[in-house]
A and B are shown apart, each in its own frame.
Chain A
Amino acid sequence: MRVVIFSWEYPPRIVGKLAQYVNLLAGELVKNRVETHVVTYNDTFTGAVEEPNRVKVVRVANPVHTHVNLITWDLTLNQEVERAAANIYYQAAGDVEVIDVFDWHFIPAAVTLKNALGIPFIYSVDSLEDHRAPSADEPFNMAIRGIEWLGFFEAKKITVKSEWMRNEVVRLYKVPREKIAVILPEANSWVKDVRKVYEATTGGLELA
């Protein structure tokens, strides 16, 4: 099985808790015979990195250095994420089973890849804009919520880390409950549970 993970943070670039989580998951997946690629962001401070395990990591930089806000930064970086993912796809002769996208940042790339190449994706929710910026109704927040909504709508499956988050996704985005799988990171069956979601998602998509 070949999986590509999209995450805007990955060690050594650590912003919140997501980087360590994705790092741990990728390492465990490799041990469980899943060929795991991670596409993440490389800022100027990341420097050269030697990967400690067999996870294949591509760190893409943003071709546009000057930005007016996080959204323009994100929506230009997505093209590089697409390029990296397309390279993996073509080198594997089209054999990429699923893309696992962590949080909203690289949802646009996942949607384009789904529409263009028929690769299904999973939207793994770490946090939501409604919780990060409660009651903020600026156009900026609306745009991010719009991208989250797009992710929920286009994803084949959604994973969350708690029953509470599942309820929140249902409440805020009216996502059908059965589309959301709860993956408990503290459970002994954690990696098996993730694998199970991947396996249920694969099989490619009908383009027509």
Chain B
Amino acid sequence: MKRPLNVMMFSWEYPPRVIGGISPHVYFLSKSLAKNGVKVRVVTCDFPGAPEHEVVDGVEVYRIDSYKNPSPDFATWVYLMNLNMQKEAASIAAKLPEPIDVFHAHDWLVATSGIGLKHVFRKPLLVTMHSTEIGRRDGLHTTTERMIHETEAWLTYEGWKVVCCSDYMVSHVKWAFGLPADKLSMVPNGVNAHVYENLEKQDLREFRLKFALSQEKIVLYVGRLVYEKGIHILINAIPKVLSKADAKFVIVGSGYMQEQLSNIVKSMGLEHKVLFTGFEDEKNLEKLQKVADVSVVPSLFEPFGIVALEAMAAKSPVVVSDTGGLSEIVQHDITGVKVYSNNTDSLAWGITKVLTDDKYAKAIRENAYKVILEKYDWDKIAQQTRRMYESILGEYSKSFWA
């Protein structure tokens, strides 16, 4: 193809709108694709203060009216938002001087936009499944959960290829929706190590004192305060860790378990050792990851585990539960500590090991950083993604749609 590849990406979040891991993923992926010669247009939800249309690092970003009337419930809102997204994306795509070659949808939150435009423009759809409802909820228990699951199944059916960010997710998605193996591909998530490198020149001692006393080690948790993230396992492990090491537990994020968790901390009489910061902005978060003595990811279900990758890029030693994508990211005793999932004793052991053995902590964080640079570089990931687009278009060119 003589002209650059034209891709339209759908994502319900894109900075400054950050809700979960999809936002940074789409930001870095689209930016790195642009650097690698792909013309990317991201269509996403609006955000107060963010422009309707802008060019970010070579990527055209369109923010659509995301349906701001009251909605019966979250899932209904998703489909109503998609009505707007699809309508506006249709008109953006139709007005382009050159046609879109590939539509790329991230998760069920933009399923109907991607599926509809695939058929209307007769272009292939690439689907990235970041997570699944059946995994998030550990089964399907309600009408809403079944509806979302069926929407996900439909989206993977309509996708030309389905991308997952870990081998674990590939097999999970294959099982959840009964997909043929050759429809699935693994392209890892990336991490931007440069932001942490820049922080190395800064004196962060003052910043650290806002969170912990100078003699306390910082144990950092970053993530939503929800069941699947296993934050309650960490809270229960605190007394065991404190019996061996002096530490402050800094819990970043919010979620439906917040009140319950702070009540547990209160009842243990450990309010002075645990700090719930709520949501922290990107800058503060990066600094926290930089000053943390150990970063803990105690998830029960984790499709990928970007938080662990970020901590490794920040040269913070990681303790993760041996589950999902985390099992693939971390090599036990080499690039981090793996502990049994859903096991307080094991988690406490892992954290204590890192806090009390400086030589060990130093070794794993240095090894981890090397792996980050080798394997999780966005440039390499963008090249992999670009090759996927090209192979899809090769197959498409032989179909009757072409």
A: residues with CB less than 8 A from B are: 63-69, 71-72, 75-76, 78-79, 82-83, 86-87, 90, 108-109, 111-113, 115-118, 138-140, 142-143, 146-147, 207-208
Select one of A66, A82, A139, A208 contacting B70, CB under 8 A.
A139
- B70 / chain A contacts, CB cutoff of 8 Å: 139, 142
Quick check: is B117 within 8 A (CB to CB) of the other chain?
yes
Task: Compute how far the CA of A116 lies from the CA of B75 in the bound complex, rounded to whole angstroms.
Answer: 26
In the complex, the answer to whether A63 meets B95 with C-beta atoms within 8 Å is no
The B interface, classified by DSSP as helix, strand, loop or mixed, is helix
B180 sits at the interface (CB 8 A): no
Chain A nearest CB, measured from B237 CB (Å)? 38
Please tell me if the beta carbons of A112 and B86 are within 8 angstroms of each other in the complex. yes
Nearest residue in B to A143 (C-beta to C-beta)? B80
A residues within 8 A CB of B76? 68-69, 71-72, 139-140, 143
The interface residues of chain A lying within 8 Å CB-to-CB of B69 are: 139, 142-143, 146
| Chain B residue contacts of A115, Cβ below 8 A | 87-88, 90-91, 94
Select one of B79, B146, B150 contacting A71, CB under 8 A: B79
- Please, which residues of chain B bring their CB within 8 A of the CB of A82? 116, 119-120
**A49 CB to closest chain B CB, in angstroms?**
23
Q: Report the nearest B residue to A139, measured CB to CB.
A: B70
Nearest chain-B residue to A85 (Cβ)?
B120
Bound-state CA distance A53–B143 (Å) is 40
Kindly provide the distance from the CB of A108 to the nearest chain B CB, expressed in whole angstroms: 5
Q: Determine if B116 and A67 form an interchain contact, defined as CB atoms under 8 angstroms apart.
A: no
- Chain A residues whose CB sits within 8 angstroms of the CB of B88 once the complex forms: 115
In the complex, the answer to whether B72 meets A143 with C-beta atoms within 8 Å is yes
CA distance A207 to B93 in the complex (A): 10
Contact across chains for B79 and A75 when beta carbons are under 8 A apart: yes
B80/A71 in contact, CB under 8 A: yes
* Residue contact A116 to B150, C-beta cutoff 8 Å: no
Q: Which of B86-108 contact A (CB under 8 A)?
A: 86-88, 90-91, 93-95
Q: Which residues of B contact A83 (CB under 8 A)?
A: 119
Q: Report how many residues on chain B are interfacial, defined by Cβ distance under 8 Å.
A: 35
Interface residue B154 (Cβ < 8 Å from any Cβ of A)? yes
A208 proximity list for chain B (CB < 8 A): 95
Residues of B within 8 A of A87 (CB): 119
Q: Which of B72, B82, B94, B119 contacts A75 (CB 8 A)?
A: B82
B86–A108 touching, CB < 8 Å:
yes
Q: Is B206 part of the contact surface with A, judged by Cβ < 8 Å? A: no
Question: What are 7 sample pairs from A and B whose C-beta atoms fall under 8 A apart?
Answer: A66-B146, A68-B73, A79-B116, A116-B94, A139-B71, A142-B70, A146-B69
Chain A: minimal CB distance from B95 (Å):
6
Known: A64-B151, A72-B76, A139-B69. 8 other contacts (CB 8 A): A64-B154, A68-B73, A72-B79, A75-B82, A82-B116, A82-B120, A86-B119, A140-B76
Q: Is the CB of A116 within 8 A of B120?
A: yes
Q: Given A68-B144, A142-B69, A108 and B83 touching (CB < 8 A)? A: yes
B231-270 interface code vs A (CB 8 A; 1 in, 0 out): 0000000000000000000000000000000000000000
Chain A CB within 8 A of B132 CB: no
From known contacts A72-B79, A142-B70, A208-B95, infer whether A63 and B122 are also in contact, taking CB-CB under 8 Å: no
Q: Is there a chain A Cβ closer than 8 Å to B313's Cβ?
A: no
User: Assuming the A-B contacts A79-B119, A139-B69, are A116 and B93 also in contact, with contact meaning beta carbons closer than 8 angstroms in the complex?
Assistant: yes
CA distance A207 to B120 in the complex (A): 15
**Which residues, 114 to 152 on B, are CB-close (under 8 Å) to A?**
115-117, 119-122, 143-144, 146-147, 150-151
- A117 near B120: Cβ-Cβ < 8 Å: yes
Min Cβ gap B147→A in Å is 5
* Residues in B neighbouring A90, C-beta threshold 8 A: 122
- Interface presence of B321 (CB below 8 A): no
B342 within 8 A of A: no
Most chain B CB within a 10 A radius of its CB, from A67, A108, A116, A143? A116
Cα separation A72 to B148 with both chains bound (whole Å): 10
- With contacts A68-B143, A72-B147 taken as known, whether A117 is within 8 angstroms of B94 at the C-beta atoms is yes
**CB proximity of A85 to chain B, nearest CB, Å:** 8
> Is the beta-carbon distance between B150 and A63 smaller than 8 angstroms?
yes
B122 neighbours in A (Cβ, 8 Å): 86, 90
Would you call B316 an interface residue if the criterion is a C-beta within 8 Å of the partner chain's C-beta atoms? no
CA distance A66 to B91 in the complex (A): 30
Rounded to whole Å, the gap between the CB of B62 and the closest CB of chain A is 13
Is the Cβ of A75 less than 8 Å from the Cβ of B83? yes
Is the CB of B112 closer than 8 A to any CB of chain A? yes
Pairwise interchain contact A64-B71, C-beta atoms closer than 8 A: no
Chain B residue contacts of A75, Cβ below 8 A = 79-80, 82-83, 112
**Quick check: A78 and B116 within 8 Å, CB to CB?**
yes
User: Which residues of chain A have C-beta atoms less than 8 A from B94's C-beta?
Assistant: 115-118, 207
Contacts of B116 in A (CB 8 A): 78-79, 82, 109, 112
**Cα-based distance from A187 to B122 in the complex (angstroms):** 42
Taken together as a complex, chains A and B put the C-alpha atoms of A113 and B146 apart, in Å, by 29
Which residue of A65, A113, A117, A142 is within 8 Å of B150 (Cβ)? A65
Contacts of B79 in A (CB 8 A): 71-72, 75-76
Query: 6 closest A-B pairs (Cβ-Cβ)?
Result: A75-B79, A115-B90, A115-B91, A116-B90, A83-B119, A66-B146
